Amino acid sequence: MFRQYHFRDYKVSLILWVSILSILGIMIIGSAQRSSQNRQILGLVLGLAVMLIFSLVDYTWLLSFSWVWYIAGAVLLAAVLVIGENVNGATRWIRIGIQFQPSDLVKIVLILFFADYFARHEDRLNTFRVIAFSVVLLGIPLFLIYKEPDLSTTIATGLTFCAIIFTAGLSFRIIGGILLVMVPLIVVFFSIILRPGQTLLKDYQLDRIMAWLRPADYAQEAYQQTNSVIAIGSGQLYGKGLNNNVVSSVKGGNFIAEPQTDFIFAVAGEELGFLGCCLIILLELLIAIGCLRVAYTAKDTAGKLICCGMASLIMFQSFMNIAVATNLMPNTGITLPFVSYGVTSLITFCFGIGIVLNVGLQSRRY
């Protein structure tokens, strides 16, 4: 079974970066909300086990069931809208013995599915039929995720798809044509949503955009990001230290809702300072680069696309989380990979890294 594996190529460094970042995340989560720390520790133990198991499972065998995974993912997303649990106005979780968020798993499933799909149609990738069908296949799960509603995951997943199809060999002529169409559409989109009575976005989504554009006029909606920026700045170079009880801190003063998840970077900035934030960004970057290094030596197109897809997802999601915490983009709720509290998110990212490790075990020999 393991005859085709080159165990000397096992990327132990990738496991090391994931472990260090996850342990750092557990420490920050414990400081932000002590009650969540033990569950995240359990999530890391399970995640590492899943990573090691799937690092030994032949990814080509997994890809032979790509349509099964795709359909199962779509069914799970549809089930969320029917039997999902509503938390803070969003229905993103299913409880079947345990509570989990299907959209986290579907992000990895879609990477596997489109890696297989584009590898199979590599010679016809730039035809209208292949591109149009792939967009339809992407649109179904994206629509279901958006309806939860979960706009941030919708955006991150869509961007990851773009990275995968670009890596697969999408023609620059087609990319240029898409950009020529998309830029005017974006301008029209913003001109429409800024008009009174628009129906494209829900009220809370519009409020978040307006709070980002005009924080002084939407102080109530902008307070979390404003407080996040203040918290990160107050940490200065070295931070105030983990587990401090300063009343004026973002966690002590309850200035940010759910600091252990979407705004974990604000807690990190305040308590670990600029150096701590740089360490988190560096580790996220090292993990993504590790995936790209495996992609470079992958034995086939599907393996390369899996690794590039995982690297893209980690970087896009990290950028979105940090950009929200630093007020570089409107407030969208999304986790910081391997750092934010979220057992499902942690385990599924470890699952994806496990598949990348398996691609590395079957790398080309030079």
Poorest-pLDDT segment among 107-111, 270-274, 311-315: 270-274
Q: Answer yes or no: pTM beyond 0.85.
A: yes
Q: Mean pLDDT over residues 141-149, rounded?
A: 90
Of residues 162 and 36, the one with the higher pLDDT is: 162
> Residue 140: which pLDDT band, with cuts at 50, 70 and 90?
very high
Encoding tokens for residue 125?
A: 């990738």
Poorest-pLDDT segment among 86-90, 221-225, 271-275: 86-90
CB 265 within 8 A of CB 325: yes
At residue 129, does pLDDT exceed 90? yes
> Residue 4: which pLDDT band, with cuts at 50, 70 and 90?
confident
Q: What is the pLDDT of residue 121?
A: 94
Q: Which of 196, 179, 270, 263 is nearest to 230 (CA)?
A: 270
At residue 107, does pLDDT exceed 80? yes
ω into 149 cis (within 30 of 0): yes
Pinpoint the alpha helices (H) of 236-342: 264-296, 301-325
Poorest-pLDDT segment among 94-103, 179-188, 291-300: 94-103
Q: Work out the burial of residue 206: count CB atoms within 10 Å of its CB; fewer than 13 is exposed, 13-18 middle, 19 or more buried.
A: middle
> Residue 2: which pLDDT band, with cuts at 50, 70 and 90?
low
Q: What is the pLDDT of residue 252?
A: 64
Q: What is the pLDDT of residue 254?
A: 66
> Residue 196: which pLDDT band, with cuts at 50, 70 and 90?
confident
Q: What is the pLDDT of residue 286?
A: 97
Of residues 169 and 92, the one with the higher pLDDT is: 169
